[in-house]
Amino acid sequence: MPVPVRSLHFADAREAEDLAAFLARLIHYDRAAAVRLQAHHGALAVFGHPPSFEVFAIRTARLGGDPVEPDVTVLDVTVSAGELLESLGGRGGEYGAEFAVPAAVTGPPWAGVLPPRGGWRELPGLPSVPALHAAVTAAVAEFRARDEALPEQHRTRAERDRIGRDIWSRTVGDTGLPLRAVHAAQSLGFLRPGAPVALLATGTETWLRLRTPFGSIAVRTKGLGGLSVTPTRTG
C-alpha cells in the first residue's frame, strides 16, 4: 500500500528540468490538466492524458534520496499538473533535486485505467523516426486542406471531428498503432531525431505503447469506444 509522502528526491536536478518540460507541454493542451504520480522501485512515473490526442503520455524520472524496498510503492496520487510544475520550479525558477508533492485532487476517470506496469513485448513493423515525422506532417497538411475545403455551412465541430477521426485513426507501417499516438509523441517532445523508438504491446495487444528515451505514449486499442480524436496544432 502507498504510504504518505510529502516530498521526493530526484537522482539529480536534470530530472526535474525534463519533467517540467513535459508538464508544460501537457498544460499547453489542457490548462486544467491533472497527472497521476506513482513512485516505485526507485523511479517516478508521471501519467498524463492530453484530451486532444486521447492517449496516455508517460514520463519517468530517477529518484534518489533514502532507499526503499524494491517492491514498495511509496507514492500513488493524482495531482494538478500546474501545481506540480510550480513545485518543481522552486525559488526563482531554479530546479532542485527535491520537490514537494502537491495536495491530491479528485482524479479524472482516465486516472483509474492506466496502462499495465509489466507484461510488454516488442512488436516489429514500426517505421523509422524520419518516416514517422513525415507521416504526421502529411496528416496535419491533409487535415488543414480538408478543413479549408469545407463549405462554410459544414464547417462545424462535428465535421472537423469526423475528418480528424478519419485521419488520426489510420495505423502506421505494418502495425496497429494509430497515427494519433505518433502525433502525440511528436507534440509532447518524445519523438526526436536520432533517438531510438520501439513499439510494445501487452500479451493480448489490448494496449500498445510507443517508447522513446524521452517518454512513452500508450493507447488502449480494445475495450474502449467512442474516442474523440480531434486534431490539434503541432508545437
Hey, what's the cell of 78? Answer: 493524482
Q: Which of 48, 16, 13 is nearest to 216 (CA)?
A: 48
pLDDT score of 166: 96
pTM: 0.86
Higher per-residue pLDDT: 3 or 227 = 3
Mean pLDDT of 95-123: 90
pLDDT band at 74; cut points 50, 70, 90: confident
Q: Which residues contact 166 (CB under 8 A, 6 or more apart)?
A: none
Query: To 10 degrees, the CA torsion angle through 119, 122, 125, 131?
Result: 100
pLDDT score of 1: 45
What is the 8-class DSSP label of residue 111?
A: G
**Domain residues of the chain, as ranges?**
7-106, 121-220
Residues listed for the chain = 235
Angle, vertex CA 40, rays to CA 13 and CA 189, nearest 5: 50
- Does residue 227 have a pLDDT over 80? no
CB atoms within 10 A of CB 105: 16
Mean pLDDT of 144-170: 93
pLDDT band at 70; cut points 50, 70, 90: very low
- Does residue 42 have a pLDDT over 90? no
R_g of the chain computed on alpha carbons: 19
- Does residue 225 have a pLDDT over 80? no
Q: Which residues contact 154 (CB under 8 A, 6 or more apart)?
A: none
Hey, what's the cell of 5? Answer: 509522502
What is the 8-class DSSP label of residue 18?
A: H
pLDDT band at 93; cut points 50, 70, 90: low
CATH class of the 7-106 domain in this structure: alpha beta
Residue 191 · residue 134 · CB < 8 Å: no
Mean pLDDT of 128-133: 96
Distance CA 226, CA 141 (A): 25
Residue-wise pLDDT tens digits, 166-224: 999 999 999 999 999 999 999 999 999 999 999 999 988 899 999 999 999 999 987 64
